Amino acid sequence: MKKLILAHWFAVVTLVFLVLGIISSQTANSERPAPARFSVHAAAAGGSMTQFRASLERTQYRGWNVFRLSNGLVSLLIAPEIGGRAIQLKLGDADLFFVNSDLAGKVLPEEQNNPRSGWANYGGDKVWPAPQGGGADNEWPGPPDYTLDGSRFSAEVVANNSGEVAVQVSSPRDPRTGIQFVRTFHVYANTTRIKVEQSMRNISRRQVRWGIWHVTQHDAADATDPMKPNPRLYMYVPLNSASMHPLGYYVMVGDVRHPSLQLIEGGRMLRVQYQYRVGKIGADAAGGWIAVVNGQKETCFLENYTYHRGAEYPDNASVECWISGPRGTAPRPADVVSPEEARSAPLLMESETLSPFATLEPGD
């Protein structure tokens, strides 16, 4: 039996940890990219962090039942009852993920989370099958997809000691795609690094072919006014020098001259500055890392992944970025957003990584 597993490392650091070389506070205001050496553990400058032991508890977060995996530096909140997602990641007291306030504490049934009634986008960090589309059996029509995105996942504690805590969540078996997702979240002592393993099993009686699509929704609201976009939220993508795309990336949704997009470092790096205008890009990025920098909160969310050179990827992309906003409007980096707009196009930006396609026989 074989299984496709996509493993990620998250490192979340404050920008004052300059001694690590992870990213400097200049990055949000200049054309210097995030350095590519991200295999370090985050630590305060000097001194030991042996007191930051891993711990796990069952608690509540904004009305949802969650597992809280923490170590005194970071806290990861896992909500099995709303699609097995990590609903929030906290660095100290700073919240990094987008959470939909209109749905806080709600666990909607399928009758309220489907293509007719609309998508219940709770927020947080989740996993989907790729590619997306609605016209063929080999395309995922969601979201909404109640089974894989909104239903109750089973949950199991698989590690609980002072060095490591881990929770595994498993989706229901989905007859439409023929797959089941299993996600395992690991938090370790003395580091801000978090490991997320995501596997996909063919539970059907037919051959299936999908990629694993990992989606993280970042809070893009201004720190002082939740109805304004954050003008200092950036995503950095090191581009592939041997890319199949002429610019190293391509625009999937929105204006091809989207004002959020900038090539820097001689075209070797794509910088996306959040502006409240819809857009999406894809890139066959081979660097193995992406970074989301919040200049207002002075945090950097860093994701490491493995790039499989020569493999076929959904959308011809190993990395994607979704910019939430209204369609067909002029750039609005600092405007006040109306409540109606915020409901239809919440203030969020998605960092997304994809695995290559995997062809799975029944049971694989």
Reduced to 3 states (helix: H, G, I; strand: E, B; else coil), residue 306 is coil
Q: CA 348, CA 326: separation in Å to the nearest integer? A: 12
Q: Which residues of 317-349 are buried (b: 16+ CB within 10 A; e: fewer)?
A: bbbbbbbbbeeeeeebbeeebeeebbeebbbbb
The residue whose two tokens read 């989370």 is: 113
Query: In order of start, what are the domains of the chain with their CATH numbers?
Result: 4-360 (2.70.98)
> pTM for this one?
0.89
Tens of pLDDT, residue by residue, the chain (364 residues): 666 667 777 776 654 322 222 322 222 333 333 333 322 334 433 445 458 999 999 999 999 999 999 999 999 999 999 999 999 999 999 999 999 999 999 999 999 999 999 999 999 999 999 999 987 889 999 999 999 999 999 999 999 999 999 999 999 999 999 999 999 999 999 999 999 999 999 999 999 999 999 999 999 999 999 999 999 999 999 999 999 999 999 999 999 999 999 999 999 999 999 999 999 999 999 999 999 999 999 999 999 999 999 999 999 999 999 999 988 666 565 577 888 888 889 999 999 999 999 999 999 9
Q: CA 78, CA 84: separation in Å to the nearest integer? A: 7
Tokens of 290: 């992406």
- Neighbouring C-beta atoms of residue 223, cutoff 10 Å: 14
Question: Could you tell me the maximum CA-CA distance found in the chain, to the nearest angstrom?
Answer: 57
- Neighbouring C-beta atoms of residue 309, cutoff 10 Å: 10
